[in-house]
Structure 1
């Protein structure tokens, strides 16, 4: 930073120097420490700035994504006018920023680690040791994740495994998986998007991915909005798709290591994996929740490839989205599409209300938010071993209300999808249908099953799902 200011003093006038001083001070006050290579530089050099050219890189400042150039310029202009000075215009402000202070920039919108964000607000003399301790711990957990994937990769190569239906716990191997949701896609969609479509709400498709760390390949579940339960319950959907994955794409492993973001943390997953181990579907299960900002895993990369392919492809139906997922890696076929259901209501992945059926047999895990690592063993039904982090002391807890009473292995009732409400059907038919191709109009935006008007207070784009998909006209 000081070197940049010295260059200003040699080459620029006082007004430009004031811009540089403002940017440096503003970054010092508002910069957020994110998951960047700066962390690795800190760890490598014992918490001190590295010597030589790396010093400028170490001084990289990342402003929150809401602090764009125009926003910072307005703050600068207001401050300059308040002091009685004259502010430079926006174009000159951008030019000074980009030429002399490129190490200050706005970060792209990402999930922040709470502790990284919290430690960034501490004074410099208090931040160093706490930050290094936190990053050491995150690096240790990341190393464990990478080592597990490497071992599973060797297993897959030696055994020539593939994602296909296998009998549960039929191979004495360990396999790692990671799973997560992605942002929803809207269709119809065009590479050259018609302007009016930006102001409408096209049909929605949500993505849920389960990635095998040993291959690596991912099954991407495509969830049409008519297949989403009402109200939306991510827990139920996670368990349904994981259960379908193990039935239809599992490799028959006896031990499974699962990793996901801490945002997906819920009691339902504990109940489900306790149920799987006590009925012999897996002998051991390790479940890891990585904190936001440190949870980069397989699904993120493959979802990114899907998004890139989606932007340059004409998409009219769910089948087109499945084609985009498949063609996102045309040579290696790393992305496998799996439709949850079709637009006409045909069910391809059955849904069960797991939590409602299992919660009567299990207790709530105490202080659930304090722990991130959970393990289950078939030799100890219902017992979960939890750790706050990979080096912490384990804590054991019996999830079953009564160890002698276990939930049944089957008999779960299938849930019918709610389908699109009449209001949503009418909205798609009246507003979005004209943007569909002729062959896709009756698939993506068909005529509504009834023209009954909604109750008072409802609007055409209301997507509350209180009407069954197969509602018949009166």
Structure 2
């Protein structure tokens, strides 16, 4: 390079003094300043500018190194991590003085020797080549004098700032939320969600976490409190079972009445009495929930064994409508579309869930009527037990605690008919507390609804595909795979009603005791023997099912309504199936 060729290489340790040498330096700098500096590389520009103005030492040590050497070294320094850069700089510093002065006193200031590429350089050249500033270098020197050649650590490591969250703050938040839930919350028995056994507690839906945080601030002593975001994080991490109730949550009517009694109680005795009833109700629900969980667990563990424990669950889902589209058209929201009822029977040990799809024209009564009656329930349940059994002689069945649908003399008579005709040796029929009857079959329904919302269903065949695709355990069953039968008049010939049937939760049927039902009000309670056979000497000679009932179809008014209001929104390929022309159907 031109300005390096014109520069005399000097020894860094040599001294130069006098007016002649100063005049020569000024003349040399004047010549160098006239050389144009590069503008494309700021590092190279800085190096050449420093060389042009000098490095502040008499030896001009910066001229010992070429621009490429300095520039490459700067780039290498930038590629190092912070710890590597610190240790490398410490290794390039050499303390050049003794610990005491000539007078024997302790030296207060230290003098460093700066080394670069084996050469002794000045402080300015050292900072340029190592790409550091004045304060960075001074901190490195101070650290070496106090700590030695060791990695530097940030001063706050291992220390907590004064405004950090303390254990006492977290404890107060958890204690406040727990006390608030005890006073205003509605406890529930733990549902089978596969996560934990902590029963959830629902806080009334008219309250928000922001409102509860405001009450927390008012109760805090010394005005020390956590902010809203921290309050929510502590709530979610420490008390996830305490939740704000949602309007769609299906709460227990008894729990809701007792909760209102607690809130409206005036005297302490009234509040304690209502709280005691609430606790007894929750304990009862938890006990029945535990029975259900044990049945499910046992059926899964023993399903592949020879002496298996078979557990069934049956229930109705909320009906769905066709046509249904993922992008639903506005006018359909105000129409009464074609309803499809879903009845499920689940074998929890297998696991497998049969979902009976009952179109509106396939029910016993006209226009979808009588689908929840004893004839309908027993007909589908009988078909499932007859065609999808696992060869068991004994089974346990759980059902929703609904008197008009599941808990009546006809369903009890049907189970007694099965054991008296030797189709089963023993059947246990159990029910949970109303309002606390969540079970696995509801999970199967939820998977169907989840996929149903995202799919287009213009016909019953498309809905069948949705059910089959929703889960590997879900299977759709369409009418007329089964037949409706007149079970109600048939069973009423032989069996009578159980007095006070609402108070019983568990029923047992055994072929060794024909006509006798063993009933219990609670799990583990007193067993009561109840005779439901009208003639105790009667016995069934053969397995004979009642007469078949035909489907009633749709009325003329319903056909005309679907044709005029729903047919325009159905795809042409499914219009005749979903919304047929009344003139063609009636003729």
Query: What TM-score, normalized to structure 1?
Result: 0.70
5 Å-filtered alignment, 1:25-424, equals 33=186, 35=188, 61-63=203-205, 105-120=244-259, 121-122=261-262, 123=265, 124-158=271-305, 173-230=308-365, 231-232=369-370, 233-263=372-402, 264-329=406-471, 333-339=472-478, 341=479, 347-406=480-539, 409-424=543-558
Separation in structure 1 between the aligned mates of residue 189 and residue 284 of structure 2, nearest angstrom: 16
Q: Could you tell me how far apart the structure 2 residues matched to 1:235 and 1:377 are?
A: 22
**Is the CA contact (8 Å cut-off) linking 1:285 and 1:377 kept in structure 2?**
yes
Whole-angstrom distance in 1 between the partners of 2:308 and 2:547: 32
Residue deviations 1:250-270, cap 9 Å, x none?
112111100011123222110
Distance between the aligned counterparts of 1:446 and 1:275, measured in 2? 41
Please say if residues 322 and 339 of structure 2, whose CA atoms lie closer than 8 Å, have aligned partners that are also in contact: yes
Determine the C-alpha separation between the residues in 2 that align with 1:376 and 1:204. 36
Aligned to 1:16: none
Distance 2:207 2:488 in 1: 43
Task: Tell whether the 8 Å contact from 2:189 to 2:285 is kept in structure 1 after alignment.
Answer: no
Deviations 1:353-384 (A, max 9, x none): 10111102111111111111100001111110
Secondary structure, counterpart of 1:227 in structure 2: coil
Residues 384 and 186 of structure 1: CA distance in aligned 2, closer, same or farther (over 3 Å): same
Please report how far the alpha carbon of residue 137 of structure 1 lies from its aligned counterpart in structure 2 after TM superposition: 2.6
**In 1, Cα distance between the equivalents of 2:581 and 2:314?**
36
Query: Hey, what's the Cα distance between the residues in 1 that align with 2:569 and 2:203?
Result: 44
The answer to whether the 8 A contact 1:110-1:293 is kept is no
CA offsets per residue over residues 384-441 of structure 1, 9 Å max, x none? 0100010210111111111122456215210000001111111111111111111111
CA contact (8 A) 1:119 1:131 kept: yes
Q: CA deviation at 1:37?
A: 6.4
Structure 1 equivalent of residue 115 of structure 2: none
Residues 309 and 104 (structure 1 numbering): CA distance in 2 closer, same or farther, change over 3 Å?
closer
Distance 1:68 1:447, change over 3 A: farther
**1:208 Cα deviation from its structure 2 partner:** 0.5
Residues 193/141 of structure 1: CA separation in 2 closer, same or farther (3 Å cut): same
Measure, in 2, the Cα distance between the counterparts of 1:68 and 1:311.
Answer: 30
* Deviation (angstroms), 1:294: 1.3
1:434 matched to which residue of 2? 568
How far the C-alpha of 1:338 sits from its partner, in A, is 0.5
- Gap regions ≥5 residues in structure 2: 1-168, 170-178, 192-196, 212-231, 237-241, 266-270
- Output the CA distance in 2 between the equivalents of 1:269 and 1:104: 38
How many residue pairs get aligned? The number is: 364
CA contact (8 A) 1:361 1:406 kept: no
CA contact (8 A) 1:186 1:203 kept: yes
Contact residue 261 and residue 289 of structure 1 kept, 8 A: yes
Q: Render the CA deviation track for 1:261-283: whole Å, top value 9, x for unaligned.
A: 11232221101000000001110
Between the aligned partners of 1:393 and 1:36, the Cα distance in structure 2 is 23
| CA 175–449 in structure 1, closer or farther in 2 if over 3 Å, else same | farther
Larger Rg: 2
TM-score, normalization by structure 2: 0.57
**How much has 1:68 moved relative to structure 2?**
9.4
Q: For each residue in 1:234-263, what CA deviation from the matched residue of structure 2 results, as whole angstroms up to 9, or x when unmatched? A: 222111111010111111211110001112
For the 8 Å contact 2:189–2:289, the answer to whether it is kept is no
Query: Unmatched 5+ residue regions in structure 1?
Result: 1-6, 8-23, 39-43, 48-56, 73-97, 160-171, 342-346, 451-470
The 8 Å contact of residues 35 and 293 in structure 1, kept in 2 or not, is answered as no
Secondary structure of residue in 2 paired with 1:417: coil
Alpha-carbon RMSD: 3.2
Q: Distance in 2 between matches of 1:430 and 1:309?
A: 29
Report the counterpart of residue 91 of structure 1 in structure 2. Answer: none
For 2:459 and 2:243, the matched residues in 1 are separated by 43
Preserved CA contact (<8 Å) 1:34 1:112: no
